[in-house]
C-alpha cells in the first residue's frame, strides 16, 4: 500500500518562527515513518519555501533560536504542496495559526490538520476571541479593546463598537478609570507572550500601549487575574475530548517568552493538583470554547484559577506548542496517548468530514 504523504510545514513568518522550528522538528521526529512518507517543508521568515534535506534526527537537537541548515529552495510551492495528501501546518502565530495558511490550503483543496480559516483567525485575534467567549458565557478578565489609529491617536472601542478617538494620555486615563491595576497589555494578534507587558500604573500603561502598538494596531488591555495558570488540551472534530488539566509554574513574574522557552525553572505539573470539581469545570469550558470558535482537530485552552476560586478563560491556541516538552502533547500522554499516536489521530481527523 502506498504511504500517505504528510507535508509538515514549520518556521513561518511570525515572531514565533523559532518556536515553530522546534515544534516542527518534534512532529517530524514522532511521525510514524512506516505509515507515512514525510515531506518536511520549511518557510523562512520572508515567506520562501524550502525542502529540508538533512537528517530529521538532526532537527531534534535544535533549541529555540537556533537557525536551520540543509535546506533547498522550492521554486514552485503550490506544485510542491499539491503532492501532499495531508499538510500539518506546525506554524505558530501570524501567517500560520491565523487562518492564512489554512486559506491557502483550502484554495488548493489540500486536507490539513487542525482548525479551519474562521476558527484559526478568531482564536488568533484576542479581541475577537474575547467577544466569542463573552457570548459563550465563559468568565474572563475584565478587558477593553483599543485600536492604534496613527502615531498620535488611538480609538477606544466599546462593547457596541462605538468609537472614541483619544491621544495616548487620554486613552490611558480612560482605561485607568475602567480597569483596576495592574493590567496586562497585549497586541491582539500575539503569541508566545511577544509584545505583552504588565502595567502597574497609568504611566506604565502608556508605555505598554505604545510597546504593544509596535506589534499590532489592535490592543487588548485586561485586569490581572491573581491565581494559578492552567491549560487543557482538546482533540476532535464534532466529538471532542478534553485532556486532564496541566498547571504552569512560571519562573518569572508572568509567563513571558523567556519563561516559556529559555528558563528551565519554569515547570509544568500534569495533572494539576486541583479539585475534581474545578478540573471538570475547566474541561467542560475548554470544549465549550473550542465549539464557540468552531474549532476542528485540536486546540489548547488556557485558563486562570483565580485566588477567588473561580475559573477564568485566558485564550485558545489552535496550533499550540508541539515540542517534546510542550503542554499539548504531554497532556494527552498523561491520558495514555503517546505523541506519535496523537499525530496519527490528528491526521485521521484531517480526513474526516464530519
Ligand X SMILES: Nc1ncnc2c1ncn2[C@@H]1O[C@H](COP(=O)(O)OP(=O)(O)O)[C@@H](O)[C@H]1O
Where on the chain is the footprint of ligand X (CB under 6 A)?
Answer: 141, 184, 186, 190-193, 196, 222, 224-225, 229, 250, 254-255, 302, 314-315
What is the DSSP track for 309-338? Answer: S-EEEEEEESS---STT-HHHHHHHTTT--
Give whichever of 83 and 142 is closer to ligand X, judged by the CB atom: 142
Measured distance CA(192)–CA(24) in Å, rounded:
16
Per-residue cell: 144: 477593553
User: Shortest Cβ contact with ligand X: which residue?
Assistant: 255
- Name residues whose C-beta falls within 8 Å of residue 336's C-beta, 6 or more positions apart in sequence: none
Give whichever of 330 and 345 is closer to ligand X, judged by the CB atom: 330
CB of 325 to ligand X, least distance (A): 16
CB of 275 to ligand X, least distance (A): 21
Nearest by Cα to 260 from 309, 215, 194, 311: 194
Q: Is 325 left (phi over 0), alpha (psi -120 to 50) or beta?
A: alpha
Give whichever of 49 and 133 is closer to ligand X, judged by the CB atom: 133
CB of 198 to ligand X, least distance (A): 7
Torsion of CA 222, 223, 228, 231, to 10 degrees: -20
Paired with 155 in beta bridges are 147, 165
Give whichever of 116 and 317 is closer to ligand X, judged by the CB atom: 317
Give whichever of 39 and 225 is closer to ligand X, judged by the CB atom: 225
Q: In which residue are the cell numbers 529552495 written?
A: 73
N- to C-terminal Cα separation, the chain:
26
Nearest by Cα to 290 from 236, 349, 351, 229: 236
Give whichever of 13 and 110 is closer to ligand X, judged by the CB atom: 13
Measured distance CA(76)–CA(56) in Å, rounded:
23
Paired with 153 in beta bridges are 167
Per-residue cell: 85: 495528501
CB of 229 to ligand X, least distance (A): 5
CB of 63 to ligand X, least distance (A): 20
CB of 59 to ligand X, least distance (A): 24
| Cβ neighbours of 332 (radius 10 Å) | 22
Give whichever of 52 and 312 is closer to ligand X, judged by the CB atom: 312
CB of 253 to ligand X, least distance (A): 9
At residue 220's C-alpha, the angle toward residues 325 and 148, to 5°, is 125
CB of 122 to ligand X, least distance (A): 14
Give whichever of 125 and 281 is closer to ligand X, judged by the CB atom: 125
Amino acid at each position: 500500500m502506498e504511504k500517505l504523504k504528510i507535508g509538515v510545514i514549520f518556521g513561518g513568518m511570525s515572531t514565533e518562527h523559532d518556536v515553530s522550528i522546534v515544534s516542527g522538528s518534534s512532529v517530524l521526529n514522532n511521525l510514524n515513518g512506516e505509515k507515512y512518507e514525510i515531506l518536511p517543508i520549511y518557510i523562512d521568515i520572508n515567506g520562501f519555501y524550502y525542502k529540508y534535506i538533512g537528517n530529521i534526527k538532526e532537527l531534534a537537537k535544535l533549541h529555540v533560536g537556533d537557525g536551520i541548515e540543509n535546506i533547498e529552495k522550492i521554486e514552485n510551492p503550490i506544485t510542491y504542496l499539491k503532492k501532499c495528501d495531508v499538510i500539518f501546518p506546525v506554524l505558530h502565530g501570524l501567517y500560520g495559526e491565523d487562518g492564512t495558511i489554512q486559506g491557502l490550503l483550502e484554495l488548493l483543496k489540500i486536507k490539513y490538520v487542525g482548525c479551519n480559516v474562521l476558527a484559526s483567525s478568531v482564536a488568533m485575534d484576542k479581541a475577537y476571541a474575547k467577544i466569542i467567549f463573552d457570548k459563550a458565557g465563559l468568565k474572563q478578565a475584565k478587558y477593553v479593546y483599543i485600536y492604534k489609529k496613527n502615531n498620535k491617536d488611538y480609538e477606544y472601542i466599546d462593547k457596541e463598537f462605538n468609537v472614541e478617538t483619544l491621544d495616548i494620555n487620554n486613552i490611558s486615563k480612560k482605561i485607568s478609570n475602567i480597569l483596576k491595576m495592574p493590567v496586562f497589555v497585549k497586541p491582539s494578534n500575539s503569541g508566545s507572550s511577544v509584545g505583552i507587558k504588565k502595567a502597574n500604573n497609568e504611566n506604565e500603561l502608556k508605555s505598554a500601549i505604545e510597546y504593544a502598538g509596535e506589534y499590532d494596531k489592535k490592543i487588548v488591555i485586561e485586569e490581572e487575574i491573581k491565581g494559578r495558570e492552567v491549560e487543557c488540551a482538546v482533540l476532535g472534530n464534532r466529538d471532542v475530548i478534553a485532556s486532564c488539566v496541566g498547571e504552569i509554574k512560571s519562573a518569572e513574574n508572568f509567563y513571558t517568552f523567556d519563561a516559556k522557552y529559555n528558563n528551565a525553572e519554569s515547570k509544568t505539573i500534569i495533572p494539576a493538583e486541583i479539585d475534581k470539581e474545578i478540573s471538570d469545570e475547566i474541561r467542560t469550558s475548554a470544549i465549550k470554547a473550542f465549539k464557540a470558535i468552531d474549532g476542528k482537530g485540536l486546540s489548547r485552552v488556557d485558563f486562570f484559577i483565580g485566588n477567588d476560586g473561580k475559573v477564568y478563560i485566558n485564550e485558545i491556541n489552535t496550533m499550540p506548542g508541539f515540542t517534546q516538552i510542550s503542554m499539548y502533547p504531554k497532556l494527552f500522554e498523561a491520558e495514555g496517548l503517546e505523541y506519535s499516536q496523537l499525530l496519527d489521530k490528528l491526521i485521521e481527523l484531517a480526513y474526516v468530514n464530519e
